[in-house]
A and B are shown apart, each in its own frame.
Chain A
Amino acid sequence: MSFISYLINGISLGSVYAIIALGYTMVYGIAKMLNFAHGDVIMVGGFAVFTIVSTLGLPPILGILVAVVICTVLGMVIERVAYKPLRNAASPLAVLITAIGISYLLQNVALLIFGANTKSFTSVVTISPIKLADGQLIISGETIVTIIAGIVIMICLTLFVNKSKAGQAMLAVSEDKGAAQLMGINVNGTIALTFAIGSALAAVAGVLLCSAYPSLTPYTGAMPGIKAFVAAVFGGIGSIPGAMIGGILLGIIEILGKAYISSQMADAIVFAVLIIVLLVKPTGILGKNIQEKV
């Protein structure tokens, strides 16, 4: 029975990773850059909800909405100020290092505003836990909400990308920036939109993450952010269902590793997964093979 409850916890954690990984994978697919600051946008979302709900005492729904708006704006501002000027830089390292700088900046600004103390986050989920098999198996409300949110977001995103005009523009830009521009697609606008969607998802992920693991520090987002990137690579970067599958598998691996191997080694196990995936199948589970042109 404990195995099943671990499995459910793993799927719950994995759904959070999946939502973060969706943001990563979209940005990576279109801007061809690893947005290191994505994890810290999660943290910003967490602090936004914390401030509104716990400090100001306003209803959680309002908190989530404001957090989504703040993160969306933040994501677009970061893209405009830090990444856009470097889009055609001579070295691909330039934008990567800038992204690390932004990540660091967000962490330290949060550190100056909120301090290093761990804040206890009050869960925004009010659903009571479900008890199965005579109370031996308890599924918490957060778990249910997280899993449902993950599935809903994935379906909406897939529909958006495949059916809407803006989504098609995204696919075109990710395929070939120059050709997309010739077809009359606003490349800069599309990239900005991608960052906006990714950051809004990060805000949602932040709320879910902090509800399930109610401790909030300026460094809360960093590790889940990196692990979500692992999930995105695992599932095949650039692929939306891939991010979902990768996220959930990674969450299960992490929780089972924590339970059965060693709790201190959980992070190492996750990273070992990344290395094995990159060695065996660098394009991930659902990734396409890319041939290098000379």
Chain B
Amino acid sequence: MKKMKIAKTTKNNLITYSMVLIAYILVQILLITGHISSLMSGLLVPLCIYVMLAVSLNLTVGILGELSLGHAGFMCVGAFSGAFFSKCMDGLMPDGIRFFIALLIGAAAAGIFGILIGIPVLRLKGDYLAIVTLAFGEIIKNLVNVLYIGKDKNGFHFSMKDSISLHLDGEGQVIINGAQGITGTPHDASFTVGILLIFISLIIILNLINSRDGRAIMSIRDNRIAAESTGINITKYKLMAFSISASIAGVAGVLYAHNLSTLTALPKNFGYNMSIMILVFVVLGGIGNIRGSIISAVILTLLPELLRGLSDYRMLIYAIVLIVMMLLNWSPKAVEWKEGLKEKYFSRLHFRKEKEGR
């Protein structure tokens, strides 16, 4: 009898998908039997958001090999464009369709921003790229905080000063109110929608990685000059990875906006710190390892909540995780030491595997 042979990557991807599915079923069972406290069930949607952000940032950091510190900025673009649409269209079309279109708009807006930002930024490398993406994130946050948009019978009114200078007539309403943001976004987000969106992002990213395009992107990461001389269009592939990563972050932003009644751009949710937190998820899960990002996002979100006493030290733990993981995984000495350990204890295992492989 011939054994069914599945390609290694397919098997790996299937494990990732089934992991998410099992987690979903498990949570649903626990929800129905009432084993999840209200605090925990409130965390479920943010958990999905973090997973999506971590997975999408991993596409930029792990697969494209460039450090982006402005990921929260893309989330902010998605959140505000999606919430803006929902606020305008509330009651004018069925909720499900409206939310679906809001998600698409969020993805498109963040993707367009990704391309716009990517064209100048991706010419840079390493440190410069990191600092410029950071700058873009801050600029987006600043811009949103001074943006006023209102709607009345004559259409939309824009202003960068205050809500009075919108000159709305009596029945007009202010939709984006500067630093006060958007209030009264319909509450459409749910855990099921979150999981569905995680699935879609996983399908997009995993298929991209294992495609011709994905291999081109990874070749740029591994050796830009060699990739360029084999005829790979560097700008195109970099932009592709960057904008896909941005639009998934945008979708996460739409989900975020529809989970809260008030959406404001604060340093806490769309600032530099948020970008760093996502980066911590990616680093802990393993740079370039999509499944790892999912697991670490879940663990690092749940852990401080489960251990209430640790909540003061949450950020400190993140910082230490970041430093220790980098030192252990990347310092040449630590790598050597790990190889030595592996050889000492797992040499027999390795031998067996090699034999099977033949």
* A residues lining the B interface (CB < 8 Å): 28, 33-34, 82, 85-86, 88-98, 100-102, 104-105, 107-109, 111-112, 222, 226, 229-230, 233, 262, 264-265, 267-268, 271-272, 274-275, 278-279, 282, 292, 294
Residue of B nearest to A266 (CB): B142
In contact, B128 and A98 (Cβ under 8 angstroms): no
Residue of B nearest to A227 (CB): B135
- Residues in B122-171 with C-beta less than 8 Å from chain A: 124, 126-128, 130-132, 134-136, 138-139, 142-143, 145-146, 160
Chain A residues near B120: list those with CB within 8 A: 275, 278-279
- B159 to chain A minimum Cβ distance, whole angstroms, is 12
Q: Most chain-B Cβ atoms within 10 A of its Cβ — which of A28, A33, A88, A105?
A: A105
- B64 to chain A minimum Cβ distance, whole angstroms, is 11
Q: Which of B78-86, B185-193, B245-253, B323-331 contacts A (4 or more CB under 8 A)?
A: B323-331
Chain A residues near B327: list those with CB within 8 A: 82, 85-86, 98
Within the complex, which residue of B121, B134, B321, B323 is in contact with A226, where a contact is CB–CB below 8 Å? B134
Chain A residues near B138: list those with CB within 8 A: 267-268, 271
Chain B residues near A108: list those with CB within 8 A: 315-316, 319
In contact, B124 and A104 (Cβ under 8 angstroms): no
- B302 to chain A minimum Cβ distance, whole angstroms, is 20
Chain A residues near B126: list those with CB within 8 A: 92-93, 96
In contact, A96 and B127 (Cβ under 8 angstroms): yes
Given the contacts A101-B319, A268-B142, A34 and B127 also touching, CB distance less than 8 Å: yes
B65 at the interface (CB under 8 A from A): yes
B176 at the interface (CB under 8 A from A): no
In contact, A275 and B135 (Cβ under 8 angstroms): yes
B75 at the interface (CB under 8 A from A): no
Chain B residues near A109: list those with CB within 8 A: 316
* B residues lining the A interface (CB < 8 Å): 61, 65, 67, 69, 120-121, 124, 126-128, 130-132, 134-136, 138-139, 142-143, 145-146, 160, 225, 272, 276, 279, 283, 287, 312-313, 315-316, 318-323, 326-327, 329-334
- A266 to chain B minimum Cβ distance, whole angstroms, is 9
In contact, A98 and B323 (Cβ under 8 angstroms): yes
Q: Most chain-B Cβ atoms within 10 A of its Cβ — which of A34, A89, A100?
A: A100
In contact, A91 and B330 (Cβ under 8 angstroms): yes
Given the contacts A268-B142, A268-B143, A278-B132, A104 and B318 also touching, CB distance less than 8 Å: yes
In contact, B136 and A271 (Cβ under 8 angstroms): yes
In contact, A85 and B333 (Cβ under 8 angstroms): yes
Chain A residues near B332: list those with CB within 8 A: 85, 88-90
Within the complex, which residue of A90, A91, A97 is in contact with B279, where a contact is CB–CB below 8 Å? A97
In contact, A96 and B276 (Cβ under 8 angstroms): no
Residue of B nearest to A97 (CB): B326
- A43 to chain B minimum Cβ distance, whole angstroms, is 14
- A47 to chain B minimum Cβ distance, whole angstroms, is 16
What are 19 A-B contacts defined by CB distance under 8 Å? A28-B127, A34-B131, A82-B327, A86-B326, A91-B287, A93-B61, A96-B127, A100-B279, A102-B323, A105-B319, A105-B320, A107-B319, A112-B313, A226-B135, A230-B131, A233-B131, A265-B146, A275-B120, A282-B128
- B232 to chain A minimum Cβ distance, whole angstroms, is 15
Chain B residues near A88: list those with CB within 8 A: 332
Chain B residues near A222: list those with CB within 8 A: 272
In contact, B331 and A89 (Cβ under 8 angstroms): yes
In contact, A90 and B330 (Cβ under 8 angstroms): yes
